Structure 1
Amino acid sequence: MPARLFVDEPLASASPEFTLPAAAARHVQVLRLQPGSPLLLFDGSGLQWQAEVLAMRGRSEVQVRLLGSERPARELAQAVTLAVVMPANDRMDGLVEKATELGVARIQPLMSERSVLRLAGERAEKKVAHWRGVAIAACEQSGRCVLPEIAPVQSLGAWLQGLGPQEAQPPQRRWLLSPTAARPIAERAGVAGGDVLVLSGPEGGLSPAEEAAARAQGFEALLLGPRILRADTAPLAVLGWLSLQELSAQP
């Protein structure tokens, strides 16, 4: 299997022969590829290009040739956004990685009343950039050609206020993961709807006031099962469930 590399520039408008950006060139050097070695390149747009290494100059310059493009069918049919109150102890890294592998379209990092991890300013910007790098690596590994968006960190309250009325938005199901919800998520199997927005709380859960604010914005509280899942496990369980629902619906 050829190495898959993310190129942070539009490949559709690139010359057939061009020099890789520094980050991708470093990967080629680390992998010890040689002229003539095949590559798969993607830019996050959904397309994947077959390519080959043409020349390597010094320790930082790699020239490649694009051979052709394709659009692999590796995305979920419904766009899933995970709005997650950030878990502590670097668990967010694992959440971003696994959510990308499972097909998430967008991740919205949030802070709530019971948040342990709180980010603002330059520190928040650096974390978002770091998580984007985690998502890129997960796309390279998993074969995805669409890079999920990692949104800027927000407070839960500000984010909910910015959503606007559900009826004014494109068709979308809004789910709130709650250990005290009466309706199991399995009851949503086969229910028609548009894309999915999943809100998941921190280690201590959302406060009653926060759950009420989410419900006021059209979120339906759902229960994942009899066990209490970690803050970084619950949203991944929903993504896995949605993926299986799509697979089982295929002829």
Structure 2
Amino acid sequence: MQPADWLAQQGRVARFYVPTTLSLGERVTLPEAPAHHVTRVLRLGQGAPLVLFDGQGVEAGVRLEEVGRKATTAIVEAVWPGRGESPLAVHLGQAISKGDRMDYAIQKAVELGVAAITPLYTERGDVRLKSEREAKKLAHWQAVAASACEQSGRAVVPPVYPPLALEAWLAERDESLKLMLHLATGKAFSDIQRPERAALLIGPEGGLSSSDIQAAEAAHFAPLTLGPRVLRTETAPVVALTLLQHYFGDI
């Protein structure tokens, strides 16, 4: 069956991220989280359709085969390449913020088509994660990214890389367009030539320090303002990514 025909027959169905190979006719065992959602929240039974995606760009139409306490399995009935990826690959460097703010920034960045995210330690940032806590946070942030893909229709889950010091992240950047949000400039998106890849630096609540700004400028990051009002650290990537996608992507 062709993917379009399969989708047309099922109508709107739930989507879940399942990091496994999706091949026509294969039996897929749902991981614990999507299995729980399917059986306990949606209360779907045998024969119900779902859409799964592997996080690498492949989607599959499946039908529940077994729904039980020990395992929930589905049979792959159709496979197709995922859609929803932007032609502009943006690597977001986001200063780590407290509480749910970081979750919100990651969630909305993924919905807006970001290609990769690196949490950053900046001079004015007041969050410092150590070993085990950092590993737990990283796993949580990657789960937030996957959940945002389920909701937004993306089939590629962008990686959330381990946190880095700002200087280390700047040293790795080779994108043709490199921007940092900085209130003290009036440079507009319309002044920039169309790139294929971009890096976007967002500072913490207190903004980038003068040494952070100097380091970013030395790495050829252009300062960019979003207007006269100061945006929160979790709001800034939403606005900046929306404008980047509007000028250079697919919005």
TM-score by length of 2: 0.89
Q: Secondary structure at the match of 1:150?
A: coil
How many Å separate the matches in 1 of 2:65 and 2:242? 40
The root-mean-square deviation of aligned C-alpha atoms, in Å, is: 1.7
The one-letter code sitting in structure 2 at the alignment partner of 1:157 is E
In the alignment, structure 1 residue 183 sits paired with structure 2 residue 187:
yes
The one-letter code sitting in structure 1 at the alignment partner of 2:61 is Q
Mapping of residues 45-64 of structure 1, within 5 Å:
45-57=56-68, 59-64=69-74
Q: Which residue of 2 aligns with 1:19?
A: 29
Contact 2:87 2:196 in 1 (8 A): no
Q: Secondary structure at the match of 2:195?
A: coil
Q: Which residue of 2 aligns with 1:79?
A: 89
Q: Which residue of 2 aligns with 1:93?
A: 103
Q: CA deviation at 1:232?
A: 1.1
Give CA deviations for 1:96-147 in whole Å, capped at 9, x if unaligned.
1111111111111011111122212111111110011111111111111010
Contact 1:176 1:198 in 2 (8 A): yes
Q: Which residue of 1 aligns with 2:119?
A: 109
Q: Which residue of 1 aligns with 2:238?
A: 236
Q: CA deviation at 1:243?
A: 2.3
Q: CA deviation at 1:242?
A: 2.0
How many Å separate the matches in 2 of 1:247 and 1:141? 18
Unaligned runs of 5+ in 1: none
Q: Secondary structure at the match of 2:56?
A: coil
Give CA deviations for 1:42-67 in whole Å, capped at 9, x if unaligned.
0101111001001223x131121001
Contact 2:88 2:245 in 1 (8 A): no
Q: CA deviation at 1:15?
A: 6.1
How many Å separate the matches in 1 of 2:70 and 2:37? 10
Q: Secondary structure at the match of 2:61?
A: strand
Q: Which residue of 1 aligns with 2:38?
A: 28
Unaligned runs of 5+ in 2: 1-11
In the alignment, structure 1 residue 155 sits paired with structure 2 residue 159:
no
Among 175, 178, 185, which residue is 1:174 paired with?
178
How many Å separate the matches in 2 of 1:65 and 1:176? 46
% identical equivalent positions: 39
Contact 2:95 2:120 in 1 (8 A): yes
Contact 1:184 1:225 in 2 (8 A): no
Q: Secondary structure at the match of 2:99?
A: coil
Number of aligned residue pairs: 238
How many Å separate the matches in 2 of 1:233 and 1:98? 9
Contact 2:94 2:202 in 1 (8 A): yes
Contact 2:88 2:195 in 1 (8 A): no
